[in-house]
Amino acid sequence: MFDDLLALFFPESCFACDGVLARGEKYICTKCNVKLPYTDFHVHGATELNPLQRRFWGKVPVRFAFSYFTFQNKGSVQRLLHQLKYKGAKELGVHLGQRYGSILQDHHYHEQFDLIVPVPLHKQKQRKRGYNQSAHFALGLAAAMEVPTVSNILVRTINTSTQTRKDRLNRWQNVEQVFEVKKPETIAGKHVLIVDDVLTTGATLEACAVALFNAGASEVSVVTIAAA
Ligand SMILES: [Zn+2]
């Protein structure tokens, strides 16, 4: 009864549409859950039918490239990411990770991965925000697939926030240098799943993959919440 009273005065709202959540709904309302732009990338695996996979061809040999959603400007996914990144909705990240993780598990991908590593924030940015949104998505994935996750292996050595205006090539060259692998023995010979919140150019994930390969990872896959 206390919960009901609480819900009456402080109704929880949907992270995707801001509408009031009904009883039994959590984080995202049923209507939004039906309409969200889910991908079928995991159905196609590493084949050419997976458009995200194709984007890494000729760049860096990722084993699998998956994304839970397609990113659309001004859409519900953008609202979800905004809540996760700037409004402290860490539990939403874990929730989405658990949901996508169980889909990946249903397709037996959990047997492939040895370790889940989130794309790090620069420590200044992390201090300011208080958390790394990608690490929370990684926690959910890890729980659903029963694969360990570690967030102190990959570190960002340069703050890239001032680079947004630079052209793509310059940006890639700059980004390439900014990731460093600590404790390479932890990833040596392992298939590492790198986790990010959103993929736009793919430059960040490429740079992470290169850093992990250079440090001795045997295989690298990538997964994001949304891909543009
Ligand atoms: Zn909704």
Q: What percent of the chain is helix, strand and coil (3-state, nearest 5)?
A: 45, 20, 40
Q: Which stretch of DSSP H or E encloses residue 180?
A: strand 179-181
Return the pLDDT at 176: 47
Q: How close is the Cα of 227 to the center of ligand 1, in Å?
A: 20
Distance from Cα 14 to the centre of ligand 1, integer Å: 5
Spacing, Cα 138 to ligand 1 middle (Å)? 23
What's the confidence (pLDDT) of residue 164?
Answer: 52
Q: Which of 30, 9, 11 is nearest to 20 (CA)?
A: 11
Q: pLDDT tens digit string along 39-89?
A: 999 999 999 999 999 999 999 999 999 999 999 888 999 999 999 999 999
Helix segments in the chain, DSSP class H: 2-9, 30-35, 41-44, 51-54, 76-86, 90-106, 123-129, 133-145, 168-176, 203-214
CA 34 / ligand 1 centre spacing (Å): 9
Q: Coil, strand or helix: which one is 179?
A: strand
Beta-carbon contacts of residue 201 (< 8 Å; ≥ 6 apart): 168, 171, 172
Residue 149: DSSP 8-state? B
Quote the ligand 1 centre to 77 CA distance (angstroms). Answer: 11
**Model pLDDT, residue 168:** 54
Find out whether 210 and 183 touch, Cβ atoms under 8 Å. no
Q: Please give the model's pTM, rounded to 2 decimal places.
A: 0.89
Residue 33 alpha carbon to ligand 1 centre in Å: 7
Residues of the chain with pLDDT under 50: 176
